[in-house]
Amino acid sequence: MQELDAEIRFGVRRLCERFGNAYWRALDEQQAYPDTFVQAMTEAGYLATLLPENYGGSGLGIREASIILEEINRSGGNAAVCHAQMYIMGTLLRHGSDEQKQHYLPDIATGNLRLQAFGITEPDAGSDTSSIRTTAHRQGNEYIVNGQKIWTSRVQYSDLMLLLARTTPLDQVKKRTDGLSLLLLDLRTAVGNGLTIKPIRTMINHHTAEVFFDNLPVPAANLIGEEGKGFRYLLDSLNAERILIAAESVGDGYWFVERTQAYARQRVVFGRPIGQNQGIQFPLAQAYIHLQAADLMRYRAAELFDRGEQCGAEANMAKLLAADAAWEAANVALQTHGGFGFAAEYDIERKFRETRLYQVAPISTNLILAYIAQHVLDLPRSY
């Protein structure tokens, strides 16, 4: 396993050398999508890591996938531009029909199709997924979709989108999470024919958007699994997403620590390198310790996931610990670099902004704490 891990790290690092900090800095300034980077990752087979070999993938586990994403961020890049394909296609792989898998997965593996967008969140239904209002009504061999999604990232650069919609009204189900279904949308034909995309400018280059559905027809054959069971299928993807996000945060944390180490050694103030001062050493050492602990939880969650065991608690804890550790390292890096940390050419401010996202999304810190309190500590449900 260690040999494979090292091989993956070496390969991803070599690829990322072609896309240095200047590349990502320019994209950030232009709010542009890194098509050439995503294409290179696809051609190298990294985005098909979780797909079985019979569909053109590598047949590896979430551990290996997490290492790939960690190394992208550790190189100074931003793995968010392509991470969704890894966990979204897992939903299709585990719950799609044989026909759907044969039709889509080989082309996703080769890069002929991009599945980068997941439509879940709505303006009035963020963390409370069961309250979504987007509907999909069955009419013959089609579903007619109406509603709105928000924070649907990479939808402008994807060929396919996985959509969560309500197929049974909320007042007609026993459990709030019943009556939700997953549909696979072909964006190439949907845009302009009932689907409208409105990009949202954010503090980071995250390529996110609002999506509007106005009587959009979707073939009934594009239903994933059984109607009304979409929320259960969604949970599989969420655990994978949390583990992968944890790995990206770990990568960010190591990037900050390594950049700050180097700067603290070479920056001389009052005739001595600032790294000789405990005021610089101790915060950086503390950040590194917390980063190592988060890294261990990432591997624990990945181990359970790859064995097919319950890992909800571990995946959530890994995401929280890693996001916190990365944010701590980001603050230490900015403080250590002083004024230079705010200069775009040092890249600290760019990565600082990117790292802040994972305190909020894809799940906020408070929701993770509520989950652990209820499901691990057996305390009364708070929401």
Mark whether 321 and 239 lie in a shared domain: yes
Closest of 317, 149, 328 to residue 245, by C-alpha: 317
pLDDT digits (tens, 9 = 90+) for 174-220: 999 999 999 999 999 999 999 999 999 999 999 999 999 999 999 99
CATH number at residue 70: 1.10.540.10
**pLDDT on residue 23:** 98
Structure token pair of residue 210:
């609002």
Q: Is the pLDDT of residue 82 over 90?
A: no
| pLDDT tens-digit map of 298-334 | 999 999 999 999 999 999 999 999 999 999 999 999 9
275 domain residue, yes or no: yes
Q: How confident is the model at residue 2, as a pLDDT?
A: 86
End-of-domain residue from the set 227, 247, 276 = 227
Residue 264: per-residue pLDDT: 98
pLDDT of 85 over the 90 cut: no
Are 313 and 239 in a shared domain? yes
Asked if residue 183 belongs to a domain, the reply is yes
- Mean pLDDT confidence for 85-112: 93
Asked whether residue 380 is domain-assigned, the answer is no
pLDDT of residue 172: 94
Mean pLDDT, rounded, for 163-173: 95
Instruction: Assess whether 215 and 183 both reside in one domain.
Output: yes
Answer yes or no: do 80 and 122 share one domain: no
Q: Indicate if 98 and 154 belong to the same structural domain.
A: no
Question: What's the number of CA atoms in the CB half-sphere (13 Å) around residue 383?
Answer: 13
Of 194, 227, 260, which residue constitutes the final position of a domain?
A: 227
- Structure confidence at residue 383 as a pLDDT band (50, 70, 90): confident
Within this chain, do residues 251 and 220 fall inside the same structural domain, yes or no? Answer: no
Looking at 114, 146, 175, the residue that finishes a domain is: 114
Three-state secondary structure call for residue 354? helix
Residue 337 resides in a domain: yes
Return d(Cα 181, Cα 227) in angstroms, integer: 5
Residue 269 sits in the same domain as residue 209: no
Residue 146's CATH number: 2.40.110.10
Report the pLDDT value the prediction gives residue 128, as an integer from 0 to 100.
Answer: 86
Q: 205 and 139 in one domain?
A: yes
- Pair (314, 334) in one structural domain: yes
**What pLDDT, on a 0 to 100 scale, did the predictor assign at position 127?**
82
The answer as to whether 210 is a domain residue is yes
Q: Which domain holds residue 267?
A: 232-375
Give a yes or no: residue 10 inside a domain.
Answer: yes
Q: How confident is the model at residue 373 (pLDDT cuts 50, 70, 90)?
A: very high
Residues 215 and 272 in one domain: no
Our count of domains for the chain comes to 3
Dump pLDDT digits (tens) for 228-276. Answer: 999 999 887 899 999 999 999 999 999 999 999 999 999 999 999 999 9
261 and 362, same domain (yes or no): yes
Question: Rounded to two decimals, what is the model's pTM?
Answer: 0.95
- Provide the total of helices (H) and of strands (E) in the chain, helices listed first: 12, 10
Q: What is the pLDDT of residues 275-302, one digit of tens each?
A: 999 999 999 999 999 999 999 999 999 9
CATH number of the domain enclosing 330: 1.20.140.10
Residue 290 maps to a domain: yes
Pair of tokens at residue 346: 């040092």
- Same structural domain, 193 and 241: no
**Residue-wise burial string across 202-240, b where 16 or more C-beta atoms lie within 10 A, e elsewhere:** eebbbbbbbbbbeebbbeeebbbbebbbbbebbebbbbb
Q: Specify if 381 maps to a domain.
A: no
